[in-house]
Amino acid sequence: MARQSTLITGAAGFIGFHLSKKLLEQNVAVVGLDNLNDYYDVNLKLARLKILKQYPNFHFVQEDLANKEGIRTVFGNDGFDHVVNLAAQAGVRYSLVNPYAYVDSNVTGFLNILEACRHRMPKHLVFASSSSVYGANGSTPFSVHDNVDHPLALYAATKKANELMAHAYSNLYHIPVTGLRFFTVYGPYGRPDMALFIFTKAILEGKPIDVYNFGKMKRDFTYIDDIVEGIVRLLPKAPEGNKQWDRQHPDPASSTSPYRLFNIGNNKSVQLMDFIGILETKLKRKATINLLPLQDGDVTETFADIADLELVTGFRPATTIDQGIENFVAWYKKYYNIA
């Protein structure tokens, strides 16, 4: 594969699909990798891939991150200009049921990406972390300059592990690497295990929706186009190392190594019940709400401090929750042929 290209793992996934499409529209050669597992509806992943395959500069490889030799083959002799690792076993609640899937994909799989980057040095490795790393941290808005040492679920722990592993490889092998903590991403072609998708499906089918912590939840909902714009702007901005980094007062978000962390969120925390209210308005239907206690591993609020992202890229997410939900509902009805 030609050197002037970008590898996107998880390309058939929600964020990977939208990022791939954006880069393909900019005439970037994209190699998309995905294992097409059945964690959720494979047909949705195939529908995303069908769109990407219409672009002549897209090449798809079905492979699992945990397959060391397979990943080595994908990188070949030349590697890639940019590597964006979005493939992961996602979901906080599923990690309570199938923890081994998280270690295989998020830890072993990411190690294979790091090893491949060590030998086929990209200009920039960008990887997905998560707002879940903030765990028991109650200080809002969540800042990348705060320590995050109290994960509340294994999923969060694997994402924190990714950040630590990436720093170690950046230090040892001088790989320019950036970690992105995503905050509750939503939008067209979204994941069926996410709240907006689950709520929309249930409301349209006249079924009740489960709302945890008796509705007393707040989330920094971030529209997919804003997430993608943030990634695209960061790709050419590989970190070089913080010359002012102080070992006596270490900043978790940077390092003397070429390593950075950023939040990508909407910088607004929305009450879950308000979110549901907007969805009801867009669907023109009322939800039957089943109020339940807080689930193990869940947090009551997320809220992103995006000052660093704005400083480095000049970008600030602009999609309102009202517009974002409207766009999702329009896509959902069209995709599933609902009048």
Residues annotated as part of the active site: 155
* Residues 6 or more apart in contact with residue 185 via CB below 8 angstroms: 14, 15, 194, 222, 223, 224, 227
CA distance linking residue 193 with residue 94, whole number of Å:
10
CA distance linking residue 190 with residue 12, whole number of Å:
11
The angle that helices 109-119 and 68-75 make with each other, rounded to 10 degrees, is 40
Contact 156, 149 (CB under 8 A): no
Tokens of 95: 């990690």
DSSP classification of residue 79: -
Residue from 312, 261, 231, 185 nearest 19 by CA: 231
CA distance linking residue 270 with residue 192, whole number of Å:
21
Tokens of 22: 């954006």
CA distance linking residue 11 with residue 18, whole number of Å:
8
CA distance linking residue 113 with residue 116, whole number of Å:
5
> Around Cβ 62, how many Cβ atoms within 10 Å?
12
| DSSP string for residues in 264-319 | ES-S--EEHHHHHHHHHHHHTSPPPEEE-PPPTT--SB--B--HHHHHHH------
